[in-house]
A and B are shown apart, each in its own frame.
Chain A
């Protein structure tokens, strides 16, 4: 582990030196005429929920964007565009309507050369269509719905796992952990929000979970902005599933866990949360001890065994005081993927950037802190976007699944409230 960290650090220094050298060469006289023909800056639009219910995650993602853009500019900007600086322009995607208006604004008024966003799947599905019509490449590093790709849109690329993977991997995780502990698991419960994301959760889990010999016996949908979860919990208590799969946002999860504890309900085996809300460090911080034992399935965790993961997380933590989660990690990777695309394209033309994205194949560079390879399939989906499971212990998520990436063993079954330390 140590050697890995130090190796990557040397690599970065060498890289910076190289960049500084390249910058000097570009600044030299003979190159000047060529440089002046190139744009001084390239504008990239970022759609994030900066206000409203998802503002917390949106603001965290914004900080991840700013960190990535700073790094890229400090290392000399886009070298294939004569060292043009990346400029991040932000648009609010709190609601579908707002995301659409902001997409129009970013494209028509700000003349962005690409868009990255838009956090919520609903806002992404509609705003991608607007960008497609304008011929502006759109990278989705933070919205999960499967339908985002595969609609025949040529300018849309997705570098975050599909939602169906959460259902499949969630099922695998519960099966593997139970098998290892020698426990039988037959029934599952679902807890999800009554919005686009929650409905996708319901559809995918109901579709995939039965293939693991698991029967969903309690499917609970809660309203957006619930003032209580008591009815959900009382129903779970009555249906008594072995394990519960759940999705939600930090605010509703906080309330849910407070009331789970209050009503002393805990499923026989454990609680598996999927998606950004459950893997958000703010959720664990707010819950304190209540989060102990919770299993979160997500695309990444800071202690994962990948090059640069700890280092990048540490830098982010210095800036924000928080771990790089809640899709801040995927958004950060998205900026670097887009930057690598621009280097490859050497152009600000939408069609050329689109072609560069379609033909991208990275096995080194910043995005490797998350992915083993960056390459998009025919539909524009990055098949190397995969999921891992982690268990929360004292505010820290430790990777426990799959076997190849785990750093510690899972506690399974997770003891109920009365038997916890």
Chain B
């Protein structure tokens, strides 16, 4: 194994991890605030991919500009879903919310197959295959952009959560909904906005990765749901920074695992890392030791 190949594996693992992180960010946000495990999360990612695809092929709009619209559009859609499907079930047993989001996932996949068909699409950006070469290392610009924007958004969002009033309200509602309500925070509204933001982030991630991958109705659930859940649990459910770190860890574990053990055992490697970390830190990397 030459050093060149190892360096390449590391860089590619980090890039993949950044994208995982952005997908997981929305999931962990929703869980953190509402304690709802959103099994339809991956479908919002797929929807974002389709929106970017249609914006580019029908209107000639850059997928990166479309990403902003996808965020807005899916924010509204996500908020509507929260208001009509999630909110009535919030005080019910968690299994109800789980089943609702699983049902929503199936419905969204069906809807996307009706609208866009079962076919695989790619976003035919003319420079989509151009690569940046650093010595022997090669990375496509589309992947670099996806990674760069993912990290920037994650960092920006983290600052928002820490510094802005809205972020404070979200954190307060996450910590104790009842106490937050007593402090005059409109928890219902926080929930609505959080769900919209979480799903919107998934759509944004989808639009960003649309030029890197291909698109079909089950892309999100097939390719990103399991890694996203693993990352969220690894980084402590509900912890935003944890999702970032977890994403990079899983990206690297997959990359090196695939290289050393063979691609078929890639997930074995990443899940082994996951199990080992949970054995040691059952609440995830940022959950602290259990006493």
Residues of A within 8 A of B (CB): 50-53, 55-56, 58-59, 194, 220-223, 225-232, 234-235, 237-238, 250-251, 254-255, 258, 261-264, 282, 286, 288, 290
Can you show 6 pairs from A to B with CB atoms below 8 A apart?
A: A53-B218, A194-B264, A223-B264, A230-B8, A230-B255, A238-B1
Interface size of B by CB at 8 A reads: 42
Main secondary structure of the interface of A (DSSP, over half): helix
Which A residues lie within 8 Å of B212 (CB)?
258
Known: A53-B218, A234-B259, A238-B5. A227 touches B124 (CB 8 A): no
Name B262's closest neighbour in chain A (CB-CB).
Answer: A221
Known: A220-B262, A223-B264, A262-B131. A255 touches B9 (CB 8 A): no
Q: B128 to chain A: closest CB distance in Å?
A: 8
The answer, yes or no, to whether B84 is at the interface (CB within 8 Å) is no
The answer, yes or no, to whether B167 is at the interface (CB within 8 Å) is no
Asked if B118 and A58 sit within 8 Å, CB to CB, the answer is yes
Q: Give Cα A238–Cα B214 distance, bound, in whole angstroms.
A: 27
The answer, yes or no, to whether B223 is at the interface (CB within 8 Å) is yes
Which A residues lie within 8 Å of B12 (CB)?
228, 230
Known: A194-B264, A251-B214. A227 touches B227 (CB 8 A): yes
Which A residues lie within 8 Å of B119 (CB)?
56, 59, 282
Q: Give Cα A226–Cα B216 distance, bound, in whole angstroms.
A: 14
Asked if B131 and A225 sit within 8 Å, CB to CB, the answer is no
Asked if A231 and B120 sit within 8 Å, CB to CB, the answer is no
* Interface residue from B16, B118, B223, B262 paired with A59 (Cβ < 8 Å): B118
Known: A228-B12, A228-B254, A231-B266. A237 touches B5 (CB 8 A): yes
Q: B63 to chain A: closest CB distance in Å?
A: 15
Name B1's closest neighbour in chain A (CB-CB).
Answer: A238
Query: Considering the complex, which residues of chain B in the window 8-25 have a beta carbon less than 8 Å from any beta carbon of chain A?
Result: 8-9, 12, 16
Asked if A225 and B258 sit within 8 Å, CB to CB, the answer is no
Asked if B216 and A223 sit within 8 Å, CB to CB, the answer is no
14 extra A-B contacts, CB within 8 A, seeds A231-B255, A258-B129, A258-B212: A53-B218, A55-B118, A55-B217, A221-B262, A227-B213, A228-B12, A228-B16, A228-B254, A231-B258, A234-B5, A234-B9, A251-B120, A258-B122, A288-B124
* Interface residue from A59, A232, A264 paired with B263 (Cβ < 8 Å): A232
The answer, yes or no, to whether B62 is at the interface (CB within 8 Å) is no
Which A residues lie within 8 Å of B219 (CB)?
251
Q: Give Cα A235–Cα B139 distance, bound, in whole angstroms.
A: 17
Known: A231-B259, A255-B214, A262-B138. A225 touches B222 (CB 8 A): yes
Which B residues lie within 8 Å of A230 (CB)?
8-9, 12, 255, 258
When A and B form their complex, which 8 residue pairs have the shortest distance between CB atoms, in order from nearest?
Answer: A231-B258, A55-B118, A221-B264, A222-B263, A225-B222, A194-B264, A254-B214, A231-B259
Query: Considering the complex, which residues of chain B in the window 25-44 have a beta carbon less than 8 Å from any beta carbon of chain A?
Result: none
Name A251's closest neighbour in chain B (CB-CB).
Answer: B120
Q: A224 to chain B: closest CB distance in Å?
A: 8
Q: B289 to chain A: closest CB distance in Å?
A: 32
Q: Give Cα A258–Cα B143 distance, bound, in whole angstroms.
A: 12
Which B residues lie within 8 Å of A194 (CB)?
264
Which B residues lie within 8 Å of A288 (CB)?
124
Which B residues lie within 8 Å of A250 (CB)?
120
Name B6's closest neighbour in chain A (CB-CB).
Answer: A234
* Interface residue from A56, A258, A290 paired with B216 (Cβ < 8 Å): A56
Q: Give Cα A251–Cα B121 distance, bound, in whole angstroms.
A: 9
Asked if B118 and A223 sit within 8 Å, CB to CB, the answer is no
The answer, yes or no, to whether B64 is at the interface (CB within 8 Å) is no
The answer, yes or no, to whether B117 is at the interface (CB within 8 Å) is yes
The answer, yes or no, to whether B140 is at the interface (CB within 8 Å) is yes
Name A226's closest neighbour in chain B (CB-CB).
Answer: B263
Asked if B129 and A262 sit within 8 Å, CB to CB, the answer is yes
Asked if B222 and A53 sit within 8 Å, CB to CB, the answer is yes
Known: A251-B120, A262-B138, A263-B138. A221 touches B263 (CB 8 A): yes
Name B2's closest neighbour in chain A (CB-CB).
Answer: A238
Which B residues lie within 8 Å of A225 (CB)?
222-223
Which B residues lie within 8 Å of A251 (CB)?
120, 214, 216, 219
Asked if A51 and B118 sit within 8 Å, CB to CB, the answer is yes
Which A residues lie within 8 Å of B143 (CB)?
262
